Amino acid sequence: MSAHAGLLLAIAIPAGGLVVFTLVFFLLGRRMRRLRHEGRVTYPAKTTPGSNDFSSNAV
């Protein structure tokens, strides 16, 4: 493989991965927003102090 082809691959592979990553998160974000709008997905309104402590929820 020539140096030119290696350089092209070194740029193209990460760039392609970044495009796929961005596209997946964009589509997931749109879907979540639509489901939230329809009321199928709900989040707790506000967190209380200590709600981020999962040590008490150990199985």
CB-CB contact of 16 with 25 (8 Å): no
CA angle (34, 22, 17) in 5-degree steps: 145
Residue that has been written with the tokens 């998160």 in this structure:
25
Mean of per-residue pLDDT scores for the chain: 80
Helix and strand numbers (H, E) in the chain are 1, 0
**What DSSP designation does 46 have?**
-
pLDDT tens-digit readout, 12-40: 999 999 999 999 999 999 888 888 877 77
